[in-house]
Amino acid sequence: MASSATWRHWRPDPYPAIVPPLPVSQFLQQLLNGLFLGSIYALIALGYTMVYGVLRFINFAHGDVFMLGAFTGLYLNRLLAPVLASLPWPVAVLIVLLLAMIICGALGVLIEFLAYRPLRDKPRLNVLITAIGVSLFLEYTGQLIFGATQQPFPELIPARNIGGIGDLTVTVTQVIVLVTAVALMVGLRFVVMKTKMGLAMRALSLNPTASSLMGVNNSVIISFTFGLGSALAAAGGILYASLYPSIEPFMGVLPGLKAFVAAVLGGIGNIPGAALGGLIIGVTETLVAGYSQRIGIPSGYRDGVAFVILILILLFKPSGLLGKVEREKV
């Protein structure tokens, strides 16, 4: 039988030590990190929500276009290295970013033309299965071409800290990523709301038959939507690789799924909602990782938080934060 001393040794301490509160600077640091990461999720989520708003299906190959954007930036930097070296780094980054967006935008148009257009009048399940097949095709083709091992991403943006902000650590790369992501989201909002092409996209999302009768070429608008979403995904890939400079052919799987969750969270088909959902997912993920020891959740569960949020949204508000409830006749 165990002695009383042994029993007292194993008994939990009735007076646990008081954990001191975390400094405000640590919370602000995690919040900033979440905004930087969430802005990238928002860019990818915009592609999901645009395609869904026009065609009412989820393009699960979108995350792999994000991966191709990162590899396009890598090889463009290698190919244009002599020219880029003679230019100021902001100009070099802009050239690589725009070229990668153009290339991946054209790839998105090609994917729509070859894989999705022939199934436009087919059941949505056929299109969904095709999207999964296109995703796997891009992943394993990328593994065949680029190799299965991780590759370092070049330092397009100088890796230095910004001073004068107290205890917070903010790098030039993080600021450029956030500013670029916000600029692209504002530009997308302008295209959708202030241009004729955006007006046609909105008309097509409301009533494809009526828009066609009014002279809108639905095929052109759908291709433009795929191209624009793919260009945003390419920009997200380069920005993500600038923050986390290691890329591989399956790097788009998890960010793509999180961006899909962000689109559902904000309201699938709603552009401001997708941006808001991406920021929420990014901030939540970094807060869970930063406070994992205090809340008793292992830091590895940060990736599962997005899917817990998805389940809760589907249970309590399926239309999303900014989405509208749509009634469909059966």
pLDDT at 22: 56
Contact 46, 253 (CB under 8 A): no
Could you read off the pLDDT of 273-288 as tens digits, one per residue?
A: 889 999 999 998 888 8
Using alpha carbons only, what angle is made at residue 46 by residues 41 and 51, rounded to the nearest 5 degrees?
Answer: 135
Mean pLDDT of 246-267: 90
Mean pLDDT of 136-158: 91
DSSP character for 112?
A: I
The CA–CA distances, whole Å, from 201 to 185, 217, 259, 290 equal 17, 10, 22, 41
Look at residue 13 and tell me whether its pLDDT is greater than 80.
no
Number of domains in the chain: 1
Q: Tell me if 134 is assigned to some domain.
A: yes
pLDDT at 162: 80
Q: Tell me if 25 is assigned to some domain.
A: no
pLDDT at 12: 44
Helices 218-243 and 89-111, axial angle in degrees (round to 10): 140
Range of the domain at 82: 39-252
Q: Tell me if 279 is assigned to some domain.
A: no
Q: Tell me if 291 is assigned to some domain.
A: no
Confidence of residue 4 (pLDDT cuts 50, 70, 90): very low
Q: Tell me if 306 is assigned to some domain.
A: no
Residue 66 has which token pair? 């994000």
* Averaged confidence pLDDT in the chain: 85
Could you read off the pLDDT of 193-243 as tens digits, one per residue?
A: 999 999 999 899 888 888 888 888 999 999 999 999 999 999 999 999 998
Percentage of the chain lying above the pLDDT 90 cut: 40
Neighbours of 281 (CB within 10 A): 27
Q: What is the pTM of this model?
A: 0.86
Q: Tell me if 310 is assigned to some domain.
A: no
